Amino acid sequence: MTTKQIRPTKLELSILNVLWQKGPATVREIHAVINESKPTAVNTVLRMLQIMTEKKLVTRDDTVRPQIYRARYSQQQTQTHLVKDLIQRAFDGSVKEMVMRALSTRKPSPKTLKAMEKLLEEFEGDSK
């Protein structure tokens, strides 16, 4: 995923979440899941998938009917790209500022703090 990669919109992320959870799916299968949380026309989902194909966010298998859509990038790859983009655009490249702002929005659970401590220890070990 390049730094020039187009950022997915909210609806595109909803569709990607369906594909990450369900795996490859048809328009109707994706629509059924999206429609449960927010009433959406099947044509809207189809149009979004066409746009997402052009943006290279999904791939489409045209050899079968109905066509099957797959997320081009894993959830982790997409999240990493979005976080890097957010750090650059909103925090002028400062990971520290982003983490501090994130921590100031809500108190982390003891489990989250423990995971953060472990990650910091791993980074410290790598830098030695």
- Give the model confidence (pLDDT) of 67-124 as tens digits: 999 999 999 999 999 999 999 999 999 999 998 998 899 988 999 999 989 988 888 8
**Helix (H/G/I), strand (E/B), else coil: 49:** helix
Give the H or E element holding residue 58.
Answer: strand 58-61
> 0.75 cut: is pTM over it?
yes
Say what percent of the chain tops pLDDT 90.
Answer: 76
68 HSE (CA, 13 A, CB side): 8
Residues in the chain: 128
| Domain-embedded: residue 30 | yes
Residues 96, 83 share a domain: yes
Domain holding 34, by residue range, is 10-71
| Domain-embedded: residue 1 | no
